[in-house]
Chains A and B, each alone.
Chain A
Amino acid sequence: MSTKVAYDLSLFNSNGKVTNDAEKKVVDISQVSESYKPVVKRKHNFLAILSFALIAVVGFMVCTALIKSDAMLSELNNQIARAQEELKEEENAYSQYKMQVESIYSLRVIEDYAVNVLGMVKVENNQKNYVSLDEGDKVEIIQDSENKNIIQKIISAIFGLSSS
């Protein structure tokens, strides 16, 4: 630096700004390409990417499963409703047919047929024998023969086991 002037104009660039030697390297922004980007070197974290990918996949699978199960549930519910509807219709048809059968086999129809077609007659009251069941159930115990040999006894025992 010259010591004779107040300012050393050589230090200034054409725009009048001070530069010093250390800063002689001027960065002219207008000349800088817009595409310029400082290159920053990054460290790739493989684990983070992997875990992110895994989470994404799991999340996707869960969502898919939820949607699918919901759809299946709806479909099953619809099937159940249709089956119940069908069951109800069949039950109704059964009731109607049953009533038709009962009307065909009413007491009046049966009696008319028996008397007029088959020529049957009612049994007289004096022909009926009444059986009294007041004495209750009876059990008959069969006495085993004492002359059975050992083989017969074994066979009886086996049959006895199978019948129980």
Chain B
Amino acid sequence: MNNKELNNGNVKKKKHIKGPKIRLWHRTFVVLSVIMILFLAVIARIGYLQIVQGESLQKSAINQQVRELEISAKRGSIYDTNGEVLAQSATVWNIILAPIYIKDDIEREYIVENLAKILDLDKDDLMENSKKKSYYVTIKRGVNKDVKDEVLTFVNGIKDAIKDSYPKNSKGDSTYSNTNIGSLIVTEEAYERYYPYQDFASVVLGFTGSDDQGLYGLEYQYDDVLSGVNGKILTTTDTHGVQTPFSYEQKVEAIDGYSLVLSIDETLQHICEKYLEQGIIDNKVANRAVAIMMDVNTGAVLAMAVKGDYDPNNPYKIMDEELAAKIEEIKNDDERAEARYAAQSAQWRNKAISDVYIPGSVYKVVTTSACLEEGLVTKDTTFTCSGSYVPFPGSASIGCHNRNGHGTQNLKQALSNSCNPAYMQMGNLLGVDNFFKYYKAFGFSSKTGIDLPGEAKDIFFTTLGYYGGMSLSDLAVGSFGQNFSITPIQMITAMSAIANGGKILQPYVVRQILDSDGNVVKTTETVVKRQAVSENTTSQLAEMMQYNATYGTAKNGYVAGYRVAGKTGTSEAKRDANGDGIKDYIASYCGFAPADDPKIALLVYFDTPLSANYYGSAVAAPAFAGIISEALPYLGVEAKYTEEELALLDTVANNYIGMSVAQAKNKISEDGFAVIVKGEGANVIDQVPANGEKIPKGGTIVLYTDEVSTDDTVVVPNLTNMTLSNVNRVAALYNLNISISGMPSSSSGELLSYSQSIEEGTSVKEGTVILISFKENDEVM
């Protein structure tokens, strides 16, 4: 303020001049305010989305982005009692195509052409699939690692392979630019079930479906044990369904299924299946065959063979080629599908537990046990058979298979003769109540409870309107095992009881359950359900059955060196399964061995043999004997030969090569053989049978003394359907040796040969040993 102003006494307020700084602050304030307003708006919007709409948006995001992938649990394996793998799962891959990534026809053609070749697919079907607007089309299931790797290698090489098919740009580079082609194929892990031995024990094992679920047999019965628990992976994916990297992932590991160790022994199962197959061929069996072997002391099923079965690796294929061809000829689609399904179901069916059959004369052992237990008969009780019998006043006469009658026979003879009149008399002694009582005691009135699915129940008399309501007529025929039906597993369980002193045991197939690390989770213990009859009764019956298998109608089941107890059965099946107008029969043989110290019980039965002789003694007994002759040595049971048996045994040839002809002749004579010399040489250069080979006692050794003579052969003649003496005579004409099998220690009937080990028409050297099997041609029910 200058003096002039001061002197005026007016002090004016200073006029503020807006400097540049203040203007700057004002502008800044405005901009900041705008920014703040915008910011607040964004915050408000975020708040609205997060708080008000947050939950629903989160759910939508999860639904859209989060993908749950299942991790399949590996199905447990099935092992035989010795740890041999019978069923196992292995990883395979499903090939998933994302056709949406195929941009044009050049690509499509190339991809379809090559993928169809690699995956063995129909090109037209694959072309259809490749045109779909989809990220997920399954084109092939269950490929192995090699095929999967081949597919992935192909996909990685698509770009290089087809880029030259596209026009080039100005720089000379291909215009091919499909960056998504690498995502064309996705592989998905899955498991496939393998059964390494094909149709081995197939009805017991069963099979699995496309979702790895058990459908039949043990696979079905133990499905929850074998299956395990699937795991899962929760992950996020982008719009294309591709897993986003470094994204949040949560994994729940799968728990692999448990494994089963069976009581079934692979070797014993193979033996049973082999003889069943041969029996089906030899006897033209029309409706399958069954063999069950059980450990009499534990109830463990050592073998359960059903022939007329299937390959669980391909269960839908009908194994009977003739039947399959007939089905394909059916013109109507529905009828053809129905026929196919019926044939498939028939081959999947476990005949050993799911089908009932009339036991026939095998049931006589139960009737005998009941009478002995009740004290109604002793081994000295006699019965008279005149060829037929009237069981009660007013009834019709029921005939014996021996129309001439067996005369007077004791209990042992009645069983050995399988005499129906004797058993009708025993039935009358027992009465209906006792008959039914022992029917139940031996376990026929209820299922055994074996750990296999589809067990059938018996069909017993209901004549009086209730189960077990038997008339006298029913009692008469029931006494010899006719007109009621039981399952094979019930029969073998009852026979095991006779072998083990009268105890009815719980049969089982699964011996142990193991976890995925091999630790035992569960072991099956022997369960004694009840005492059916006393040990005294069973020991008497065992002796009678052994007599029967050695001298009686069951002697075709005889095995040299072993004491076998057995009973044959021939029952009417009350049907005509093959539609030939002839009644069907079931030929069976049931027994145990060794009779003096029983280890195993065995039931063999053939349903509807179409050969001339359909009886149990002719059809089932040879198979029974064959199985026992191989099974007992495998189980470590030593053969003990009687003097008579030793005399009939074959021996082995010694070595005569290098000797002079005179020396060899002397030696052969000392060894108890006959000799034939071929050729003009001075020394022996070859012999048949060779050193160490089997030769019957008193057989012929053929010595060859020069090279020319070694070319001499003979053509094997037919040696079947002949008596022993005829076989001997014919073989001698051809300078052939024969070895005999199936020869019982005594024979009351006609022994006929039914098989020869070297087929008719084969050229062999003289002196060759041919194994001839014989059986007694009894027509015994």
Task: Please give the residue numbers on chain A whose beta carbons come within 8 Å of chain B beta carbons, in ascending order.
Answer: 14-16, 88-89, 92-93, 95-96, 98-100, 102-103, 106-108, 111, 121-122, 124-128, 130
- What is the minimal beta-carbon distance from A82 to any residue of chain B, in angstroms? 15
Q: B633's contact among A93, A103, A108, A128, by CB below 8 Å, is which?
A: A128
| Bound-complex Cα distance A121 to B266 (A) | 21
| Bound-complex Cα distance A22 to B551 (A) | 156
Q: Is the CB of B641 within 8 A of A89?
A: no
Q: B196's contact among A99, A125, A126, A127, by CB below 8 Å, is which?
A: A99
| Bound-complex Cα distance A125 to B649 (A) | 10
- 20 additional A-B pairs beyond A89-B91, A108-B274, beta carbons within 8 Å, are A16-B6, A89-B145, A92-B145, A95-B88, A100-B196, A106-B198, A107-B270, A108-B197, A111-B274, A121-B771, A122-B630, A124-B650, A125-B561, A125-B639, A126-B560, A126-B639, A126-B646, A126-B650, A127-B652, A128-B638
| Bound-complex Cα distance A98 to B196 (A) | 9
Given contacts A16-B6, A99-B194, whether A126 and B649 have CB atoms under 8 Å apart is yes
| Bound-complex Cα distance A16 to B9 (A) | 13
Q: Write 9 A-B pairs (CB below 8 A) sorted by A numbering.
A: A92-B90, A92-B91, A96-B144, A96-B194, A99-B90, A102-B197, A125-B633, A128-B633, A128-B639
| Bound-complex Cα distance A128 to B266 (A) | 22
| Bound-complex Cα distance A107 to B142 (A) | 28
Q: Is the CB of B90 within 8 A of A15?
A: no
Asked whether B635 is an interface residue with its Cβ less than 8 Å from the other chain, the reply is no
| Bound-complex Cα distance A95 to B91 (A) | 9
Q: How many residues of B contact A (CB 8 A)?
A: 35
- What is the minimal beta-carbon distance from B760 to any residue of chain A, in angstroms? 16
| Bound-complex Cα distance A108 to B145 (A) | 29
Asked whether B200 is an interface residue with its Cβ less than 8 Å from the other chain, the reply is yes
- What is the minimal beta-carbon distance from A150 to any residue of chain B, in angstroms? 53
- What is the minimal beta-carbon distance from B656 to any residue of chain A, in angstroms? 20
Determine the chain A residues whose CB is within 8 A of the CB of B266 once the complex forms: 107
- What is the minimal beta-carbon distance from B81 to any residue of chain A, in angstroms? 15
Determine the chain B residues whose CB is within 8 A of the CB of A111 once the complex forms: 274
Task: Please give the residue numbers on chain B whose beta carbons come within 8 Å of chain A beta carbons, in ascending order.
Answer: 1-2, 6, 84-85, 88, 90-91, 144-145, 194, 196-198, 200, 266-267, 270, 273-274, 560-561, 629-630, 633, 638-639, 641, 646, 649-650, 652, 693-694, 771
Determine the chain B residues whose CB is within 8 A of the CB of A102 once the complex forms: 84-85, 196-197
Q: Which residue of B lies closest to A85 (CB)?
A: B189
| Bound-complex Cα distance A88 to B630 (A) | 41
Q: Which residue of A lies closest to B629 (CB)?
A: A125
| Bound-complex Cα distance A137 to B35 (A) | 99
- What is the minimal beta-carbon distance from A43 to any residue of chain B, in angstroms? 35
Determine the chain B residues whose CB is within 8 A of the CB of A95 once the complex forms: 88, 90
Q: Is the CB of B2 within 8 A of A130?
A: no
Given contacts A121-B694, A124-B650, A126-B639, whether A14 and B2 have CB atoms under 8 Å apart is yes
- What is the minimal beta-carbon distance from A84 to any residue of chain B, in angstroms? 12
Q: Is the CB of A103 within 8 A of B694?
A: no
Q: Which residue of B lies closest to A74 (CB)?
A: B246
Determine the chain B residues whose CB is within 8 A of the CB of A108 once the complex forms: 197, 200, 270, 273-274
Q: Is the CB of A126 within 8 A of B90?
A: no
Q: Is the CB of A103 within 8 A of B197?
A: yes
Given contacts A107-B266, A107-B267, A126-B649, whether A88 and B91 have CB atoms under 8 Å apart is yes
Q: How would you classify the secondary structure of chain A's contact residues: helix, strand, loop or mixed?
A: helix
What are the nearest 10 A-B pairs in CB distance? A99-B196, A92-B91, A125-B639, A103-B196, A107-B270, A102-B196, A130-B638, A96-B90, A95-B90, A16-B1
- What is the minimal beta-carbon distance from A34 to any residue of chain B, in angstroms? 11
Determine the chain A residues whose CB is within 8 A of the CB of B2 once the complex forms: 14
- What is the minimal beta-carbon distance from A111 to any residue of chain B, in angstroms? 7
Q: Is the CB of B1 within 8 A of A15?
A: yes
Q: B197's contact among A106, A126, A127, by CB below 8 Å, is which?
A: A106
| Bound-complex Cα distance A95 to B774 (A) | 45
| Bound-complex Cα distance A98 to B88 (A) | 11
Given contacts A124-B694, A128-B633, whether A93 and B145 have CB atoms under 8 Å apart is yes
Determine the chain B residues whose CB is within 8 A of the CB of A93 once the complex forms: 144-145
- What is the minimal beta-carbon distance from A117 to any residue of chain B, in angstroms? 15
Q: Which residue of A lies closest to B652 (CB)?
A: A127
Which of B144, B197, B267, B630 has its CB near the most chain A CB atoms (within 10 A)?
Answer: B197
Q: Which residue of B lies closest to A95 (CB)?
A: B90
- What is the minimal beta-carbon distance from B665 to any residue of chain A, in angstroms? 26
| Bound-complex Cα distance A88 to B91 (A) | 9
Q: Is the CB of B638 within 8 A of A126?
A: no
| Bound-complex Cα distance A160 to B200 (A) | 55
| Bound-complex Cα distance A14 to B2 (A) | 6
| Bound-complex Cα distance A124 to B741 (A) | 11
- What is the minimal beta-carbon distance from A16 to any residue of chain B, in angstroms? 5
Q: Which residue of A lies closest to B2 (CB)?
A: A14
Q: Which residue of B lies closest to A101 (CB)?
A: B196
- What is the minimal beta-carbon distance from B60 to any residue of chain A, in angstroms? 31
- What is the minimal beta-carbon distance from B239 to any residue of chain A, in angstroms? 25
Given contacts A107-B266, A108-B270, whether A126 and B144 have CB atoms under 8 Å apart is no
| Bound-complex Cα distance A98 to B652 (A) | 39
Determine the chain B residues whose CB is within 8 A of the CB of A122 once the complex forms: 630
Q: Which residue of A lies closest to B645 (CB)?
A: A126
Determine the chain A residues whose CB is within 8 A of the CB of B561 once the complex forms: 125-126
Q: Which residue of B lies closest to A127 (CB)?
A: B652
Determine the chain B residues whose CB is within 8 A of the CB of A89 once the complex forms: 91, 145
- What is the minimal beta-carbon distance from B340 to any residue of chain A, in angstroms? 27
| Bound-complex Cα distance A66 to B196 (A) | 52
| Bound-complex Cα distance A64 to B638 (A) | 79
- What is the minimal beta-carbon distance from B450 to any residue of chain A, in angstroms? 25
Q: Which residue of A lies closest to B269 (CB)?
A: A107
| Bound-complex Cα distance A88 to B649 (A) | 56
